[in-house]
Amino acid sequence: MSALYGLLFTKLKLPPASAIHGKTILITGANTGLGREAARHALSLGAGAVILGVRTLTKGEQAKIDIESSTGCSNKVLVWPIDLESFASVQAFAGKVSKYVDDGGRLDIAIMNAGFASMEWAITGDGWERSLQANVLSTALLSLELLPVLLRSAERFPSSSSASTRPHLTIVASDIHRGVKFSERSAGSILSALNDHERWKASQGLGGATERYAVTKLLDIFITMEIARLAPRDERGDPLVIVNSLTPGFCKSDLLTREKAPLLLKVVQAAIARTVEEGSKTLLHAATAGVETHGLWMENQAVADPGSIVTDSAMVGVREKIWKEVVDVLREVNSEIRTEY
């Protein structure tokens, strides 16, 4: 009930222009929905550049034209390809960002926004259930790849490393995680259980059509907590990169209409959800929030309690176990990935 109240009655704000001005902001899944509107807001607030990470370049180029014409900004939108259902594509994208910074560009904010609410079973070319790979494994891979790039950029542009404007890695989670059953949590290998078709069918039966999507978004909160833990700190103990996550709240994007989501959910979405223009303000808020948000999850632009499925003492072990499993998978993709600083 309080979630509904917050959704309907919170007046969302954009960050001040001073928090965005001149910065380079990378947003995945930015050809449409919340990502595109966050990019538009960022340019309106004076961002130096926005990097749109998109899986289809033609859609990204259309978004660029749309954003440039509505903001009057030209030559500030970069459109780069990334498909989160392919580790090779994520690696190539991360390499491009790294080179951009090595060549003198800056990277101040990385928003891991791309994701989808798959209601059907399908396996990627890398052998993982699609949404598990895109929403979780690739999101973790890209986050770990970009963490050192954010640090390098902050060293090069010292103004961006002062306490109030240090770099941000922001992961777009959800509030749907609060309702998960997550029966796979007790499995010997949680990732293997999540990648088992028979178990998926049973879980969807138990938890409903959105169970898998909700589990992937729960795991995004876990990833945020773990990456925040490994972020290096300054002499005062403050993180050099602020890592946080958020829910934009229920928004009128294509997230559900493009999938075989239950009709009731689509009707509720049409009736009460935020516009993407409004909801995307939460992405920029988190991506400019202070050190007090490090490792935490935000709702309605404030640090919030993510619920017992995250905070219960029994879940600490589950979180640590799944993080270890995620890192093991990612080490197979890139043996040099850094998980310590």
Ligand X SMILES: NC(=O)c1ccc[n+]([C@@H]2O[C@H](COP(=O)([O-])OP(=O)(O)OC[C@H]3O[C@@H](n4cnc5c(N)ncnc54)[C@H](OP(=O)(O)O)[C@@H]3O)[C@@H](O)[C@H]2O)c1
**Site track 63-92 with ligand X (rule: CB under 6 A), x = hit:** -------------------xxxx-------
Residue nearest to ligand X (CB): 33
The interface region with ligand X, picked from 11-19, 113-121, 157-165, 232-240 by CB under 6 A, is: 113-121
Q: 């850094």: which residue's tokens?
A: 338
Of 165 and 288, CB closest to ligand X: 288
Which residue type, as a one-letter code, is found at position 282? T
- Give the residue, chosen from 223, 231, 251, 310, that forms a contact with ligand X under the rule CB under 6 A: 251
Give the C-alpha separation, 242 to 4, whole Å: 28
Give the C-alpha separation, 89 to 241, whole Å: 24
Site for ligand X in 165-204 (CB under 6 A): 172, 174
- Give the residue, chosen from 115, 167, 207, 239, that forms a contact with ligand X under the rule CB under 6 A: 115
- Give the residue, chosen from 38, 50, 134, 243, that forms a contact with ligand X under the rule CB under 6 A: 134
Quick one: which of 335, 338, 322 has its CA closest to 132?
Answer: 322
The interface region with ligand X, picked from 25-33, 65-73, 102-110, 222-230 by CB under 6 A, is: 25-33
Point out the catalytic residue in the list 64, 76, 100, 213. Answer: 213
Are 241 and 249 in contact by the 8 Å Cβ rule? The answer is no
Smallest distance from the beta carbon of 117 to ligand X, in angstroms?
6
Of 73 and 90, CB closest to ligand X: 90
Q: Quickly count: other Cβ atoms within 10 Å of residue 174's Cβ.
A: 26
Point out the catalytic residue in the list 23, 64, 76, 217. Answer: 217
213 included as an active-site residue: yes
Q: Environment class of residue 315 by beta-carbon count within 10 Å: exposed (0-12), middle (13-18) or buried (19+)?
A: middle
Give the C-alpha separation, 138 to 104, whole Å: 26
Of 160 and 282, CB closest to ligand X: 282
Kindly give the interhelix angle for 211-230 and 197-207, rounded to the nearest 10 degrees. Answer: 100
Smallest distance from the beta carbon of 267 to ligand X, in angstroms?
14
- Give the residue, chosen from 105, 207, 239, 248, that forms a contact with ligand X under the rule CB under 6 A: 248
Give the C-alpha separation, 75 to 5, whole Å: 41
Of 86 and 160, CB closest to ligand X: 86
Smallest distance from the beta carbon of 104 to ligand X, in angstroms?
27
Q: Write the CB contacts of 5 (distance below 8 Å, at least 6 apart in sequence).
A: none
Beta-carbon-side half-sphere exposure of residue 149 (alpha carbons within 13 Å):
28
Q: What is the dihedral of CA 30, 35, 36, 37, to 10 degrees?
A: -170
217 included as an active-site residue: yes
- Give the residue, chosen from 160, 210, 245, 247, that forms a contact with ligand X under the rule CB under 6 A: 247
Indicate the pairing of strand 302-303 with strand 297-299: antiparallel
Quick one: which of 318, 341, 325, 276 has its CA closest to 137?
Answer: 325
Of 251 and 326, CB closest to ligand X: 251
Of 9 and 237, CB closest to ligand X: 9
Site for ligand X in 31-60 (CB under 6 A): 31-35, 55-56, 59
Q: 């965005």: which residue's tokens?
A: 20
Residue 118 token pair? 């798959």
Count the site residues for ligand X by CB under 6 A: 29
- Give the residue, chosen from 24, 71, 91, 113, that forms a contact with ligand X under the rule CB under 6 A: 113
250 touches ligand X (CB under 6 A)? yes
Are 223 and 143 in contact by the 8 Å Cβ rule? The answer is yes
Of 63 and 144, CB closest to ligand X: 63
Catalytic amino acids? 213, 217
The contact set with ligand X (CB under 6 A) reads 29, 31-35, 55-56, 59, 82-85, 113-116, 134, 172, 174, 247-248, 250-251, 253-255, 258, 273
